[in-house]
A = this chain, B = another copy of it.
């Protein structure tokens, strides 16, 4: 019998924002795979896991995800990562891959589940939803994302300027993810649309290292961590 493959959302940073279901699945699953950072830095998701389960009683499998843009290398490295997971599954062991936020929203689980399924077509894949940084940011800001007839979009800030303008104009709220590297461009777009004072920047929402900026124009030129997003609410 092939093992089950779980994608477990462990929430945005506060260990208490894990669900009871994620907690149970982590308790019951013998093999826990997690995204391993290259430079020896700690995995956020693994920190959360370790606050709930006895890591010594588990097989912990650190997965390094390919970062290259070379398609051949990328395919080969993903194949190797999927193979690591597949070996446990074909032996009948259940594997839980832990992911920050939600497994169905900008998570490495999406591609990992696809490559694992390519290798083991009969594998049962189950996603356990988690609180995403998108939802968590709304709570920490005290800003509703949408109410009544309002609409909200979640958009990578790396989209081109025209697309950003279109989406910011069309929606009542926009959450810009991956904003750190393109912050100055985004600040210009906000200024053009007169939305600068309707924006907030949140880094590591709900984590103990959480930071919130209410005067986003002061961030021009700033270097922010990868896990930074911006909420724009009209």
Contacts and interface: CB of A to CB of B under 8 A. Distances in A.
Count the copies: 2
B166 A155 contact: no
Contacts of A135: 102, 104-105, 129-130, 132, 135
B16 A20 contact: yes
A149 to B, nearest CB: 5
Contacts of A150: 156
Interface in A132-163: 132, 135-136, 138-139, 142-156, 158-159
Contacts of A17: 19-21, 129
A125 interface: yes
A224 interface: no
Contact of A153 (B125, B153, B156): B153
A77 interface: no
A103 B142 contact: no
Nearest to A7: B139
A45 B23 CA distance: 21
A36 interface: no
A142 B154 contact: no
Contacts of A107: 144, 147
Interface in A13-35: 14-21, 23-24
Given A16-B21, A131-B129, A170-B166, A105 B149 contact: no
Given A105-B145, A151-B159, A16 B24 contact: yes
A121 to B, nearest CB: 14
A142 B124 CA distance: 11
A167 B151 contact: yes
A144 B128 CA distance: 12
Interface of A: 11-12, 14-21, 23-24, 102-107, 110-111, 125, 127-132, 135-136, 138-139, 142-156, 158-159, 166-167, 170-171, 206
